[in-house]
Amino acid sequence: MNTLRLFAAKDFSIPASTSWYLADLGEFRGRQELYTQQSPQRLKTLREHALIESAVASNRIEGVSVDPSRVRDVLVAPKPLLLR
């Protein structure tokens, strides 16, 4: 909320280094969108792999050993269609 008040005061200036970082973020966001359009299957596979690794690591922290293929079957398996 204080940030909005600073903008409303119109005395707010952004340091040059911050504006460079913001420009870089905008550029990377554009690249991300381009990659999403060009390689959706690759991104889906990477997302599934990250999800599985996260679940295995979380279980390991809790002291539970689970085979990654079992986690994949539970987390990534296609969901059955619900009948209406």
Give the span between the Cα atoms of 2 and 8, in whole angstroms.
10
Q: CB 59: neighbour CB atoms within 10 A?
A: 13
Q: Is residue 71 part of a domain?
A: yes
Q: Is residue 18 part of a domain?
A: yes
Containing structural domain, residue 68: 14-75
Q: How many domains does the chain have?
A: 1
Q: Is residue 37 part of a domain?
A: yes
Which residue blocks in 1-84 are alpha helix, DSSP H? 2-9, 16-38, 40-61, 68-75
Round the average pLDDT of the chain to a whole number and report it: 80
Question: For the whole model, what pTM was predicted?
Answer: 0.51
Per-residue confidence (pLDDT) for residue 26, from 0 to 100: 79
Considering only residues 16 and 34, tell me which one the structure prediction assigns the higher pLDDT. Answer: 16
How does pLDDT run across 53-72, given as a tens digit for each residue?
A: 999 999 899 998 888 888 88
Give the span between the Cα atoms of 68 and 54, in whole angstroms.
10
Give the span between the Cα atoms of 8 and 42, in whole angstroms.
44
Q: Is residue 40 part of a domain?
A: yes
